[in-house]
Chain A
Amino acid sequence: MGVILKIEDLYVDFKTERGLVKAIDGVTLEVKEGEVLALIGETGCGKSTISKAIMRLLPKNATVRGKIIYKGKNLLELPESEMRKIRGKEIGMIFQDPLTSLNPVFTVSNQMEEMFKIHKLPTRKSIFEEIVNLLKIVRIPDAESRAKSYPFELSGGMRQRVMVAMMLSSNPSLLIADEPTTALDVTIQAQIMNLMLELKRNFNTTILLITHNPGVVAEIADRVAVMYAGQIVEVAPVKEVFDNPLHPYTRSLMRALPKGHKTERELENILGRVPNLLTPPPGCRFHPRCPFADERCTGGKPEIKEVEPGHFVACYKVGGTRNE
């Protein structure tokens, strides 16, 4: 499998009134062609910042350093006009809140037409027929009349399907799904996830799934990247992350998950709190909460290393913390 997207040493800082927020601190990550890579971490750890950095949709007060290489091109160096051709056509994006991600004054078909117009997509039939067809693929009932509906006449799940259908129209190579099911109820979550899996199977779409829901990760991800306070702490195949987490943060995170056993012990929580990114702790950003931290951890940032085949960890202590 080739690498479709390579993020190298990415830094994102936000200028705010209270100072510089170091939101992303040296992230390096590879997304392989055809895989589902889940980016997981708690709220505010920088997951969405990474996705916006890839799309170059960060607000003006952000400064970005590093490289984001998509199919050999560094996206951060492309002129805006080239970038627009990539957005939607090459890299698609699905947002967390389907209730507000559609223009309220457009009908569904108006909205989807935009994709055809911007990227001059080829059509076999009329654009409207193509749209109805896409809506049928994402299993929207009564597609003809739904195409003429306004977003507020559709349920949240339905709207998210419209978003997926929109992405289908251009068939992007990489789909960034930023918490696509967080705002939906559980049954609809499963349907949307299945839809995305179908996409992946039928069109070999690569999916970068951003979520804080480990349940979703376990269901559809191939590999998982764990983020903490703007740094990637662990990258591994999904089974490894759940069965054999190596980074102390990942381990605490996994212990904090309800397992659904009858003999449920009390859930653990991670002591301490997420650091303030205005003044992040030096070295490994997890060290103030880490039970194994010593002076080495406060010194320099641990580099991410492949400790087992396909299993990367950024921790000085890995190996020493294996025995549970």
Chain B
Amino acid sequence: MIGMVESNVNMKKVRSESTWYLTWLRFKRNKLALVGLGIIIVIVLIAIFAPVLTPYSPDEQHLKDRLQPPSSKYLFGTDEFGRDLFSRVLYGSRTALLVGIVVVAISATIGVTLGLISGYFGGWVDEIIMRTVDIVWSFPALILALAIVVILGPGLINAMIAIALVGWASYARVVRAETLSVKEELFVEAARSIGESDLRILVSYIFPNVLSSILVLITYNIPSAIITASSLSFLGLGAQPPSPDWGLTIATARRYLTLAPWYSIFPGVAIMLTVLGFNFVGDGLRDAVQPERVG
């Protein structure tokens, strides 16, 4: 009797998580994706616990120890003001993640909304939205972001807005394409046949069914946003000193490249690892979510 109850409970547990649980099972089989996930978790933890993990404040200057090579005192060495690079690189993860999250939040909200509307209603609305997407896409992302930042003025927040204003287009296009196929599904017609409104069909029937593609896109979008933001910072249009932003750090380090190569290497490696982690997860997620709609 007890055994029966237990097995029942187990069954329910599996059932209630179904779609996402199955996706997780497929994701888990991909070793590279797990490595990526591990990297992301570590970076998130570093960003959260930076004050605990760092020996110095990122802005603390040790003017006697300028441009020191890595040592037990300064794990990644120091910069031209004698600031501990280890502390700065760790703190820099906060800026990177902030950029990733804010940019994705803005561009996904704009892009997904427009994509759903475009795909579902079609006609001239679709035409206007898609031609705008074409225009956005006809510029190299960095150049367009650069132009927008120049208009808005330099600074991290403006850089994030600029990147988001460029990034929404890919969401719009992917979501529109998915919407076009999902809206032909019988369950959408069935929803209409029980009297659902267009808005409700979009929100509860189409959106959840395109969500997996959006998630994949987000995991690819985060690292590209981080790279673009770093590039803008590198060009002096993003984060401003004394921010420990990785791009900005590399820009400053360029002047000391022959004198203190570690100065640019460590933030560079940090960017690379972060981007790699998200891309591995993106690949794994893309492979894991695909076969989901099959009965």
What's the least CB distance linking B159 to chain A, in Å?
36
**Known interface pairs A100-B185, A101-B187, A104-B187. Does A93 touch B15 (Cβ–Cβ under 8 Å)?**
no
Kindly state the separation between the CA atoms of A170 and B195 in the bound complex, as whole angstroms. 12
Number of A-B contacts (CB under 8 A): 88
Name the one of A97, A118, A170 contacting B186, with C-beta atoms under 8 angstroms: A97
Indicate whether B28 reaches chain A with its CB closer than 8 angstroms: no
Partner of B195, one of A85, A100, A102: A85
Contact A95 B186 (CB under 8 A): yes
Q: Which of B160-212 contact A (CB under 8 A)?
A: 185-187, 189-197, 200, 204-205, 208-209, 211
Q: Mark A85-102, 1 if CB is under 8 A from B, else 0.
A: 111110011010101111
Chain A residue with Cβ nearest B20: A105
Q: Are B12 and A114 in contact (CB under 8 A)?
A: no
Task: Please choose the segment from A144-152, A192-200, A265-273, A297-305 that sits at the chain B interface, where 4 or more of its residues have CB less than 8 A away.
Answer: A144-152
Closest Cβ of chain A to B174, distance in Å, is 18
Bitwise, B268-294 to A at CB < 8 A (1) or not (0) is: 000000000000000000000000111
Report if A149-B194 is in contact (Cβ < 8 Å); known contacts: A100-B185, A105-B208.
no
From B11, B15, B193, B292, name the one whose CB has the most chain A CB atoms within 10 angstroms. Answer: B193
* Chain A residues with CB below 8 A from B196, complex form: 84, 114, 118
Evaluate contact between B187 and A102: CB separation under 8 angstroms.
yes
Set of chain B residues within 8 Å of A119, measured between Cβ atoms:
195
How many positions in chain A have a CB within 8 Å of any CB in the partner chain? 35
Given A100-B295, A104-B187, A86 contacting B15 (CB threshold 8 A) = no
Contact between A102 and B190, CB atoms less than 8 A apart: yes
Q: Does B19 contact A (CB under 8 A)?
A: yes
B16 contacts the other chain (CB 8 A): yes
In the complex the two chains form, is B209's CB within 8 Å of A104's CB?
yes
B: contact size bracket: 20 to 34
- Are B293 and A84 closer than 8 Å at their CB atoms? no
Q: Is the CB of B293 within 8 A of A104?
A: yes
Partner of B190, one of A86, A101, A118, A152: A101
Q: Mostly helix, strand, loop or mixed at chain B's interface? A: helix
Other-chain contact of A86, B12, B195, B208, B211 (Cβ < 8 Å): B195
CB distance from B295 to the nearest CB of A (A): 5
Residue pair A145, B15 in contact (C-beta under 8 Å): yes
A87 touches B19 (CB 8 A): no
Shortest A61–chain B CB gap in Å is 11
Q: Is the CB of B193 within 8 A of A150?
A: no
CA distance A114 to B191 in the complex (A): 9
Known contacts A97-B186, A114-B196, A149-B15; A103/B191 CB under 8 A: yes
Contact B19 A105 (CB under 8 A): yes
B16 neighbours in A (Cβ, 8 Å): 148
Give the docked Cα–Cα distance between A88 and B187 (Å). 14
Tell me which of A84, A97, A153, A170 contacts B18 (CB under 8 A): A153
User: Which of B190, B196, B209 has the most chain A CB within a 10 Å cutoff?
Assistant: B190
The digit string for B104-124, where 1 denotes a CB below 8 A from any CB of A, is 000000000000000000100
Which A residues touch B204, using CB under 8 A? 103, 106, 114
Does the CB pair B193–A88 fall under 8 Å? Answer: yes
Cβ 8 A contact of A114, one of B15, B186, B194, B295: B194
Minimum distance in angstroms from B81 CB to a CB of chain A: 54
User: What are 24 residue pairs bridging A and B, where the CB atoms are less than 8 Å apart in the complex?
Assistant: A55-B193, A57-B189, A84-B196, A87-B194, A88-B193, A93-B194, A95-B189, A95-B193, A100-B295, A101-B186, A101-B189, A102-B190, A103-B209, A104-B19, A104-B293, A105-B208, A114-B196, A115-B194, A145-B12, A149-B15, A152-B18, A153-B15, A153-B18, A170-B194
Residues in chain B within 8 A of chain A (CB atoms): 8, 11-12, 15-16, 18-19, 122, 185-187, 189-197, 200, 204-205, 208-209, 211, 292-295
